[in-house]
Structure 1
Amino acid sequence: MSDKTTPTDIKPPRRGIFPPELHDILSPSLKLGGMTGTVGAITGFAAGTIRDTSTPVLFGVATGVQWFVLGSSYWFTRSLMLKLRNKDQETTPGSKIQASAMAGGATGLIGGLFRGPRNILPGVFMFTLLGGGGQALVNLYHTTDFSLKERRSIFESKWSPLKKLSDEEYVDMMDEKILRIDAEIALIEEKIAELRQAPGQPAGAGREQSKS
């Protein structure tokens, strides 16, 4: 028998339901949606209990479903916009802001459909601002390179009420405080010695003055 494999023996790689490109976007979106949905369900249940509704569990489930749809749709739209843009050019901070703003607008549209037609335009406007503004803050945090060295500089600033000391500086500071305490104790002992050496008042002097 030959150990050689024929082309018919080679099995083609197993493919998933979705294409790899779509799976790379859909899987993180569903994970994020599951996280937001869980938070939404807990929040909805708590709100339903506080409002003393007759069905707090149903209220929590409905809120969880809404938050799941909003979270997953936001991340899916954002990831899709960035992936389409990456085919032409590299991702820039500006493109991230645009993708996040567009994803926020799509999320606001879906949220407006949940709450009624009157809430569509305000939802699109608010979520667009939140998406773009939040991404701008994230970009600002990363571009400022808030490293450990710069964090230490905050303590070293003259305007900061706190100062981070090294072990040697801490030991020197404690030695200085001990010397000050020893000097104060020496002054107190000198004053006590002076009071002891001073002539005392006779014991009967106070009584004679009181009788007179």
Structure 2
Amino acid sequence: MQPTPCTVQKIKDGMTDPGKSGASSSGGTEPPRRGNGLPPEVIDIIWPAVQIGSLSGMTGIIVGGFGGVARSSTPALFALASGFQWFTLASTFSASRGFVLQAWGGDKVTPREKISASAIAGALGGSAGGLLRGRKNILPGAIMFALFGAAGQAIYNRSTAQNSESPQTDTSKSEKFSWMNSKWSPITVLSDAEYERLLQERLLRVNAEIALVDENIEALRAQERDIAAKKVASESKVLSTTRT
């Protein structure tokens, strides 16, 4: 949003005529009083709007500086006018949107209501920005920025909805297309049920091997008892023959 020559001239006149500016501040050097009567809800809306407007104003000064070098004989005034317009537009949009959302229920508003609130705030911000450029720019600015606000909010709502659904989709895709599930992979991903079944199979295999070992041990013990019995029988036979 670039300033018009009319806006630049207004700022130039205000800087070169200190009497007018001094008349507007003819209250001495007393600092402005704090609005202690403002509720916290209003401050929570106005202060972020001022911050957003300040950032936008600095951006407008930078952009206006480049544009002023190319289009104006007074690039400094052109940059200041551009920054002031950006500040007015951004702060008005942010504050208007905050007040509308608060009036409609705050965090309880639906995505469709957010689109309407952004459109209303865009219309107010566009009207304020158009007023700085001349009365004939109020209506076009309101319509243009209302459309921009509604479109931007709709895109943001859709992006938020997709991001809320993406974790489940990403998890299912990662489980389905994981390289570990490939037949060429030496590693296989097992679920809890599959892992439990695998452990049970191995436990049964170990129990069967233990049973076979027990059978072999029992067979060896039986064979040892037979050998011992035969040995005792042969010794007794030898003793009987020697006595005779």
Q: TM-score band (shorter)?
A: 0.5 to 0.7
Q: Which amino acid aligns with 1:101?
A: A
**Per the alignment, do residues 147 and 49 of structure 1 end up closer, same or farther by CA in structure 2, a change over 3 Å counting?**
same
Deviation at residue 147 of structure 1 after TM alignment? 2.5
In the alignment, does 2:83 pair up with 1:70?
no
Deviation at residue 150 of structure 1 after TM alignment? 4.3
TM-score, with normalisation over the residues of structure 1? Answer: 0.61
Q: Equivalent residue for 1:42?
A: 62
Deviation at residue 58 of structure 1 after TM alignment? 1.3
Deviation at residue 42 of structure 1 after TM alignment? 0.2
Q: Equivalent residue for 2:125?
A: 107
**Per the alignment, do residues 151 and 63 of structure 1 end up closer, same or farther by CA in structure 2, a change over 3 Å counting?**
farther
Q: Which amino acid aligns with 2:74?
A: T
- Structure (1 or 2) with the larger CA radius of gyration: 2
Higher helix share: 2
CA distance in 2, matches of 1:68, 1:121: 19
Q: Equivalent residue for 2:76?
A: 57
- TM-align CA RMSD: 3.1
Gap regions ≥5 residues in structure 1 = 1-13, 156-163, 173-212
Q: Equivalent residue for 1:185?
A: none
TM-score, with normalisation over the residues of structure 2? Answer: 0.54
Q: Which amino acid aligns with 1:49?
A: V
Deviation at residue 165 of structure 1 after TM alignment? 7.9
Q: Deviations over 1:112-146 (max 9, x none)?
A: 21111221111111111111111011111111236
Q: Equivalent residue for 1:86?
A: 105
In the alignment, does 2:41 pair up with 1:21?
yes
CA distance in 2, matches of 1:54, 1:104: 32
Gap regions ≥5 residues in structure 2 = 1-33, 186-244
Q: Equivalent residue for 2:116?
A: 98
